[in-house]
Amino acid sequence: MCGIAGRLNFRSSAPVDPTVLGGMGDLLAHRGPDGEGLWHAGAVGLAHQRLAVIDLSDPARQPMTGEDPRVWAVLNGELYNFRKL
């Protein structure tokens, strides 16, 4: 199962320290040995440790964004009917 972590400096609005964020991800390395990813912008940061079960492609790497580059996400789970969708 993947490992996910995040940080929001809500009160101070201080930028997230990428070293601290990376350390958070490192603590979850045992949850996903197939890859890792970090994203941070201002007071928000996301970390992900990947366990690739079905989709091993680079587009499945996380954190990920979609059509709106202002929205980023990390998630855990599988869509078992993904082929049908």
What's the pLDDT band for 10 if we cut at 50, 70, 90?
Answer: very high
Cβ 46 vs Cβ 38: under 8 Å: yes
Say what percent of the chain tops pLDDT 70: 100
CATH class belonging to 3-73: alpha beta
Tokens of residue 78, six digits: 């599988």
* Per-state percent for the chain, helix, strand, coil, to nearest 5: 20, 30, 55
CA dihedral defined by 55, 59, 62, 68, rounded to 10 degrees?
-130
Q: What is the model's pTM?
A: 0.83
What pLDDT digit, counting tens, does each position of 38-71 carry?
999 999 999 999 988 877 888 888 999 989 999 9
Cβ 24 vs Cβ 72: under 8 Å: no
pLDDT for res 20? 96
